[in-house]
Each structure stands twice: as C-alpha cells, then as structure tokens.
Amino acid sequence: MFREVVLGLGNNAAVSGVLKQYGMRLGASRFVAGQTLAEALAVSRDLNRRGIKVTLDHLGESVTEPAAAAAARDSYLEMLQALHGSGVEGNVSLKPTMLGLALDAQLARSNIGQVVDRAADLNNFVRIDMEDSPYTTATLDIFRELWERHPGAVGVVLQAYLYRTRDDLAALSIPPKNFRIVKGAYREPPDRAFPAKPDVDENCFGLVEQSLQAGNYTAVATHDESLIERVVNWVERQGTARTRFEFQMLYGIKLPLLEQLARNGYTTRVYVPFGQDWYAYFVRRLAERPANLLFFARALLTR
Ligand SMILES: Cc1cc2nc3c(=O)[nH]c(=O)nc-3n(C[C@H](O)[C@H](O)[C@H](O)COP(=O)(O)OP(=O)(O)OC[C@H]3O[C@@H](n4cnc5c(N)ncnc54)[C@H](O)[C@@H]3O)c2cc1C
C-alpha cells in the first residue's frame, strides 16, 4: 500500500518538482554512484577491491524520441568499451524503454541487439532489466531472440510479484538461460501482481528454487536477509555449485551484508546506477522503504 501511494505520488507534478529540485542533495546521492561513467567506474573499482563485482546502469527510461534511444544505445556501447579496458570486473544492465521500447519494439530490438552484439564481441554480458508489466512480453521476446544469437552474452530479469512469472520461467528455461530474480519495483494492478507482500516474498523464494532446479544461472537480487538465509540454506542442502548463482544488491543498500556473503565465498554483485536521469529510480527506492521517505522529508524540512 505504502509503495503504491509513493509510486503514484512520484508522477504528481508538484511532488516531482520538489523531488527533482532537492532529491539529489537530500537523498538520491545515497543510491546513485555519480553523474558520470568515470565516477561509476571509480565506485566499481572500490567494490571490486571488496570482492564484489558490479553491473553498471546508465540511468534513464521511457524515452520519447528515437534520437534519445540511439544516444542511450551509444552510451552503452561506450560503457562496454570502457569496462573492457578498465580491469573492472563488471557488466551492464539496461532498461528497454531507455533504448526505445515505449516508442517501437523493433527500434528497441535493434538498439538492444547492437549492445548485446558488442558485449559478445568483448566477452561481456548485458542484463535486460524488467520494467512495468505493459513491457513484460515485449522484453521477454527481445531477450529470447538475442539469447538465440548470443547465449552467453545476455540475461533478463523476472519479477516475483507478477502472477505470470512462474509460467514465463518454466517456458524460458528450456534450454536453461540466465535470470535475475527480483521481487518487483513498479506499481501493478491486483489482476497482474500479488497485492500482499508475504505472497511476493514466498513467490520470490519459489522462483529462485525453480530457476536453479531448471539449470539456469540465477542471480538472486534482494536485500531481504531472511530470503537470503533461506536461499543459502537451500543451496547448501542441495549442494548447488557456487558457479551457478550469485547474490546481487543495489548500490547504497546493505553493503556490509553483501561483503559478508563475498567473504563466505559466494559470487556477489552491486547494481551501480549513474547519470543525470535519476528521478524515477530514486522514487522507486523511496517507495521500497518508509524510512527512506521519512529521511528525505526530515532533510527537506531542516534544509
Ligand atoms: C540488483 C538488483 C536489480 C534489480 N532490478 C530490478 C528490475 O530489473 N526490475 C524490477 O522491477 N526491480 C528490480 N529490482 C528491485 C526489486 O524488485 C525490489 O524492488 C527491491 O530489491 C526491494 O526488494 P527486496 O528484495 O530488497 O525486499 P524487501 O522486502 O522490499 O526489503 C528487504 C529489506 O531490504 C532493505 N531495503 C529494501 N529496499 C530498500 C531501499 N530502497 N532502501 C533501503 N533499504 C531497503 C530493507 O531493510 C528491507 O527491510 C532490483 C533489485 C536489485 C537488488
């Protein structure tokens, strides 16, 4: 309920005006690694030194012009090239609507395809993030097609709050592929997504189990300590090879826990967003935790 309200308010013009004006100084900088690729790479090197890999995200989504989608594609080509020469252990994550999916599926397919082609050339990897449910089918279609072209260079995200995900995962797992499992961060109607959080939490564990049992490489992307503990117990009981899964968290959240997992010998990765278009990403982070909104409101009132 809290999440729905905050995500809804994020679209309100007055609220977004205030958030855009003060957000970066009073909160967003906690979740955003910097404005430039150079800053994101510096953060990435520090995370690598702690034994943690990264996935770089150039912030931006829902572009409305083909030129903006082409610029986003080019920024990803540049990121892959920069990663290649940098010695940073990391890959990239991209949002399909940043590369044109809200404009035209064919345009997005072509732009994302060029990024995945380049990643394959450079022996790197592209994770296609999952956005809100109007884009789920098109995103999975693009993923399937690109996976046929470069099986080792592309993976996609699946969201536990959607009813459809168990079926999507079953269909996509033949043959096995590479998935990041998350709970889901967007506002979704109850006919598409579990309204109750305990159901989402339970489905998230079930999907991780299903994904690993089907032989997929599985990125478990959560800050939920009891879910992580459940997954750790499950993989240890099953004797699942540690090369078949990893734990991921977002920049700015629960880093000590991820470091502990790295010290315990698990593969770990931080999602490192950077760039100027931080607003929508920040609103999703506010919506995930009442304390974040309180922190922001307090900082705003005492500024
Ligand atoms: C690497 C990564 C990639 C992601 N990619 C996508 C994607 O492509 N599509 C998508 O829809 N969603 C994505 N998400 C977001 C995800 O769907 C959830 O919204 C988010 O991870 C919060 O859920 P949780 O699993 O941490 O569990 P929750 O039960 O929400 O949180 C568990 C605990 O984690 C901490 N926590 C969670 N969120 C925050 C926060 N914002 N600030 C501070 N503490 C917090 C709190 O202590 C909370 O009690 C991604 C998440 C991660 C970690």
The tens digit of pLDDT for each residue in 11-24 reads 777 677 777 777 77
Residue 19: the pLDDT is 76
Pocket test of ligand 1: the residue of 125, 139, 224 to mutate, having most ligand atoms within 8 Å of its CB, is: 224
Task: Give the residues surrounding ligand 1 with Cβ less than 6 Å away.
Answer: 129-130, 157, 159, 182-186, 221-224, 248-250, 253, 271, 285, 288-289, 292
Residue 295: the pLDDT is 78
What does the DSSP assignment read for 82-144? HHHHH---EEEEE-GGGGTTTT-HHHHHHHHHHHHHHHHHTT--EEE----GGGHHHHHHHHH
270: three-class secondary structure by DSSP: strand
| Chain centre distance of CA 205 | 17
Q: Which atom of ligand 1 is nearest to the CA of 132?
A: 11
Residue 303: the pLDDT is 66
User: Which stretches of the chain drop beneath a pLDDT of 70?
Assistant: 14, 303
Pocket test of ligand 1: the residue of 188, 228, 250 to mutate, having most ligand atoms within 8 Å of its CB, is: 250
Q: Quote the CA–CA distance of 286 and 10 in Å, as a whole number.
A: 10
Nearest CA-CA partner of 157 in 176, 175, 184: 184
Report the run of H or E that residue 150 belongs to, with start and end.
Answer: none
All structural domains of the chain with their residue ranges:
1-31+279-303, 52-277
Of the residues 3, 109, 118, 180, only one is catalytic, namely 180
40: three-class secondary structure by DSSP: helix
Are 152 and 142 contacting, i.e. CB atoms less than 8 angstroms apart? Answer: no
Residue 233: the pLDDT is 98
Residue 106: the pLDDT is 97
Architecture of domain 52-277: Alpha-Beta Barrel (3.20)
Q: Quote the CA–CA distance of 251 and 253 in Å, as a whole number.
A: 6
- Answering whether pTM is above 0.85, one says yes
Is position 104 annotated as part of the catalytic site? Answer: no
